[in-house]
């Protein structure tokens, strides 16, 4: 064989783009049907088409890619469906902002032209997202890419809308909705983000009608401007302070209207004054009170958040903020303002534009969720879906048990147009799969389609089956549905996860996936959510440019513990870069030393070969279990420990004995085994480090084909070698102790030392130690080793000029008298011992302090106890060193 030259420095820019193109062109991302093999299918949580990938996407797609690559290598027909979401509100906002810069609005363009412009923006941003996914190495099947507004998904959306309507699960009605004045549309409860803000509680008097201002009720509100839409005040029916007023009227300040006093158990007697203003068109709780008492509903807002003609003229056209100032001034002038109390309270904001949400009475389309939720709950109770980690089951159950009807209509132009038409002649509503040419009730052709579009989530709740061709009976739907796993963040359990389960059960009769892996959020080192305003965000593409895609993927996996958020900064990604670099350098060393070597069929294995295969076997078992249970950090840690420690630090070093000292036959044998272990190790690491492993794999002389489709290593009972692992662990203990002593005694690298190893009578690895003396000499930089018995059958005195080390079943005496300045070393160890004794005293004082132990977090107490154990071990060792040196 000839030596293979890898570049001296690991530089992912030299090969990552080339390798991705090779994977894509070879069809490696497409599933290969295998008889008797169950497919592994993942649908990507579709990113908003106008967005760019942030660190949340980087994490989510990295984790999906890891398990997809693992299952692909396991031989499962593996499909990862890519796609993007049309993101109604977000995308329309992007286009409207562009128009605003030109001094235009969407109404200047008209609906058709505006939608055309939006499609252009979609195309532009979609290409950016596709490039980004490729850049981070996402092995999605691009031939099956979908978009929530493409023809097939639009057909699915219309089919679902009409079917729900036919089943009595869809209705239109006046209802109090969350309204975004900026976006000009209704939002579902899940699209409202609550944020604590500083505000005030305003105390106001409402005079009792007919009392000439001598009697009044006092109440408190955070929104005094809404009193203009009050239709009652409420008190608790058992509140003796107000029972005499129930059924009477009070004067509504500033309006000239009178409103009734009603009794309702909704009122908390202990909160505030025990009197509550009822504004049913602008508060969800008041809405429920109004239904119980048959109160009128007065909407005082326009769609853009200004006061309408239902209020006195002086307030009309004012914004909510302006109206609040005016109302407070007028209340003070009328002597009806009592006081202002500063408070902090939760205020709803639009999840897209962050405008304050207004409860707003509006006619909208709704889905009846309770019947759907009952099926989704039953499926979970039957064990048809499983959450990782399990704790999210409780969140799922709670939300479904407390679900409200879903407002699905949006007052936008970009999205799926609602398939409902209104007959101008007879007034009937026609809901149809195809556009009707005439009214089925009166045969009139005067039909007008509903101007609204459907909530974006109405298309994405169908994503697992609509992307596979439903409602058509396609081959993909038959072969790949239900899908296998959903990977998503916990912030969209309600938005998306639960709704997909409901839709899957309602329209296919099956849950859309079995496993639901919920990962945490990416936060900065201080635990803060990454955001533009804080300036603490990380761009995954910039990280790929600096460290490589493998470093991004590996670092995120290494830090992704189940049930926890990920705290990282830019420096964190050096971990992944260093590991990829280690894989590169170790492989480079092996490939550089192939000159003149020949591969040997069925090479005989020596002890160290059997040991590395046993260690590899353990890593295979551990990582396979970790991947199938979504414990990404466990897989990443196992990979690191196996490759860096077992393979590089021990095995590769051990093979140098054969490669440097053996005859030609031994060199060929050792090289063959080394290459085989390297090839299998690259297959083991591929899901976590796909690019660097593929590049190295392509250079190996003992393999063919692409690594992405090579078989993942299989755990084998025949590779287990517990006894050899145990004897090698004992040998490692000896070598580590000698290395540590050399370091602590600052023995120069060029100084070779001598060892005397004494064995206990029943030590089981005596012969193994003697056989491995060349390995010990190499790895511990030792020039001579002697072995003898220990105890009654052998020597017990300590040789002069040595430091003793104790292992399990053996003692080692290291001769360092000629290698160091003993006097200087005595001074150093004495100082170290004094320092450690002081540290031990401090820790013991802390851990005997009852206040600390009972009040400090359990994790901190455990850390302090671990420190105490460590320092006690150091003290014991230093005392031994000092005794021996003296």
Contact of 691 with 548, CB cutoff 8 Å: yes
How far apart are alpha carbons 833 and 846 in whole angstroms? Answer: 20
Query: 628 is written with which tokens?
Result: 């199938």
In the annotated binding site, the residues are 532
Closest CA to 182 of 366, 306, 345, 71: 306
Compute the distance between CA of residue 775 and CA of residue 74 in angstroms, rounded to an integer. 36
CB 655 within 8 A of CB 674: yes
Peptide bond into 471 cis (omega under 30): yes
Residues 6+ apart with CB under 8 A from 718: none
- Asked if residues 632 and 63 have their Cβ atoms less than 8 Å apart, the reply is yes
Q: Of 651, 791, 661, which Cα lies nearest the Cα of 732?
A: 651
- Asked whether 148 and 86 are in contact (CB, 8 A), the reply is yes
Q: What is the DSSP letter of 588?
A: H
Q: Name beta bridge partners: 196.
A: 346
CB 452 within 8 A of CB 410: yes
> How is residue 74 written in tokens?
């396991």
Query: How many whole angstroms separate alpha carbon 804 and alpha carbon 784?
Result: 16
Helix H or strand E segment including 212: none
Host H or E run for residue 325: helix 320-333
Q: Which residues contact 872 (CB under 8 A, 6 or more apart)?
A: 840
What is the rounded CA–CA span in Å between residue 776 and residue 431? Answer: 82
CB 335 within 8 A of CB 151: no
* Torsion over CA: 527, 533, 535, 537 (sign): positive
- Report the phi/psi class of residue 530: left, alpha or beta, with left for phi > 0 and alpha for psi in -120 to 50: beta
Indicate the helix (H) or strand (E) that contains 731. Answer: helix 722-744
Cα–Cα distance for residue pair 548/558, rounded to 1 Å: 16
- Binding positions for ATP: 532
Find tokens 């085994």 and name the residue.
673
Q: Rounded to an integer, what distance in angstroms lies between the CA atom of residue 324 and that of residue 357?
A: 16
Q: C-alpha angle 374/379/380, rounded to 5°?
A: 100
């Amino acid at each position: 064989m000839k030596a293979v030259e890898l570049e001296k420095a690991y530089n992912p820019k030299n090969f990552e783009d080339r390798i991705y193109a090779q994977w894509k062109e070879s069809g490696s991302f497409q599933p290969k049907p295998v008889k008797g093999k169950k497919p592994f299918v993942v649908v990507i949580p579709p990113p908003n088409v106008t967005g760019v990938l942030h660190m949340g996407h980087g994490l989510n797609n990295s984790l999906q890619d890891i398990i997809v690559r693992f299952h692909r290598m396991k031989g499962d027909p593996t499909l990862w469906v890519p796609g993007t979401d049309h993101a109604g509100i977000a995308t329309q906002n992007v286009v409207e902002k562009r128009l605003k810069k030109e001094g235009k609005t969407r109404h200047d363009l008209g609906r058709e032209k505006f939608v055309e412009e939006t499609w252009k923006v979609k195309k532009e941003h979609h290409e950016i997202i596709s490039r980004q996914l490729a850049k981070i190495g996402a092995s999605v099947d691009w031939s099956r890419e979908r978009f929530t507004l493409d023809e097939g998904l639009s057909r699915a959306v219309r089919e679902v809308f009409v079917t729900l309507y036919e089943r009595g699960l869809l209705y239109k009605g006046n209802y109090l909705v969350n309204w975004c004045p900026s976006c000009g549309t209704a939002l579902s409860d899940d699209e409202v983000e609550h944020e604590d803000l500083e505000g005030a509680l305003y105390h106001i008097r409402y005079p009792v009608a007919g009392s000439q201002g001598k009697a009044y009720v006092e109440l408190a509100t955070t929104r005094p401007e809404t009193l203009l839409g009050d239709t009652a005040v409420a008190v608790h029916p058992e509140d003796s302070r107000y029972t005499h007023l129930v059924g009477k009227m009070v004067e509504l300040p500033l309006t000239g209207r009178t409103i009734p006093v009603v009794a309702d158990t909704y009122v908390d007697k202990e909160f505030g004054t025990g009197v509550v203003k009822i504004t049913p068109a602008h508060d969800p709780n008041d809405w429920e009170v109004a239904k119980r008492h048959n109160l009128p509903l007065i909407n005082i807002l326009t769609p853009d958040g200004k006061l309408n003609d239902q209020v006195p003229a002086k307030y009309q056209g004012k914004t909510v903020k302006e109206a609040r100032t005016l109302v407070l001034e007028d209340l003070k002038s009328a002597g009806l303002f009592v006081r202002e109390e500063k408070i902090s309270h939760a205020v709803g904001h639009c999840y897209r534009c962050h405008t304050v949400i207004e409860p707003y009475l509006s006619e909208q389309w709704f889905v009846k969720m309770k019947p759907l939720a009952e099926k989704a709950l039953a499926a979970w109770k039957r064990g048809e879906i499983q959450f990782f980690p399990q704790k999210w089951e409780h969140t799922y159950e709670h939300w479904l048990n407390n679900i409200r009807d879903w407002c699905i209509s949006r007052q936008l132009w970009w999205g799926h147009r609602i398939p409902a038409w209104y007959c101008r002649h007879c007034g009937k509503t026609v809901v149809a799969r195809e556009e009707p040419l005439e009214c089925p009730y009166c045969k009139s052709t005067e039909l007008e389609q509903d101007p609204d579009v459907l909530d974006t989530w109405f298309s994405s709740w169908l994503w697992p089956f609509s992307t596979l061709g439903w409602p058509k009976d396609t081959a993909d739907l038959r072969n790949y549905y239900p899908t296998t796993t959903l990977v998503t963040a916990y912030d969209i359990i309600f938005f998306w996860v639960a709704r997909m389960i409901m839709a899957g059960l309602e329209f296919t009769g099956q849950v859309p996936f079995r496993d639901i892996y919920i990962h945490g959020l990416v936060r900065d080192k201080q635990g803060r959510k990454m955001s533009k305003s804080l300036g603490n965000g990380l761009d995954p593409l910039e990280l790929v440019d600096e460290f490589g895609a493998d470093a991004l993927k590996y670092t995120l996996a290494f830090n992704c513990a189940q049930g926890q958020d990920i705290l990282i900064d830019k420096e964190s990604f050096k971990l992944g870069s260093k590991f990829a670099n280690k894989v590169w350098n170790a492989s480079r060393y092996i490939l550089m030393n192939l000159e003149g070597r020949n591969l040997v069929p069925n090479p005989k294995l020596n002890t160290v070969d059997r040991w590395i295969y046993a260690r590899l076997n353990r890593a295979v078992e551990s990582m396979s279990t970790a991947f199938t249970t979504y414990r990404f950090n466990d897989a990443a840690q196992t990979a690191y420990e196996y490759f860096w420690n077992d393979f590089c630090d021990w095995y590769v070093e051990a093979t140098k004995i054969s490669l440097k000292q053996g005859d030609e036959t031994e060199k060929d044998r050792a090289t063959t085994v080394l290459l085989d272990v390297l090839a299998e190790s690259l297959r083991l690491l591929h899901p976590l480090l796909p690019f660097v492993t593929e590049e190295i794999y392509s250079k190996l002389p003992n393999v063919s084909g692409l690594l992405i489709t090579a078989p993942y290593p299989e755990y084998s009972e025949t590779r287990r070698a517990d006894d050899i692992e145990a004897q090698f662990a004992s040998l490692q203990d000896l070598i580590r102790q000698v290395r540590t002593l050399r370091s602590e005694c600052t023995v120069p690298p060029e100084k070779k030392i001598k060892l005397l190893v004494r064995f206990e009578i029943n030590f089981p690895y005596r012969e193994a130690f003697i056989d491995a003396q060349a390995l010990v000499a190499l790895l511990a930089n030792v020039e001579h080793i002697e072995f003898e018995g220990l105890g009654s059958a052998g020597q017990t005195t300590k040789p002069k000029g040595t430091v003793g080390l104790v292992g399990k079943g053996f003692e080692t005496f290291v001769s360092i008298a000629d290698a160091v300045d003993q006097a200087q070393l005595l001074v150093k160890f004495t100082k170290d011992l004094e320092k450690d004794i002081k540290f031990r005293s401090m820790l013991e004082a802390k851990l005997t302090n009852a206040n600390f132990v009972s009040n400090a977090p359990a994790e901190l107490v455990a850390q302090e106890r671990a420190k105490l154990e460590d320092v006690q071990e150091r003290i014991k060792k230093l005392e031994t060193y000092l005794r021996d040196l003296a």
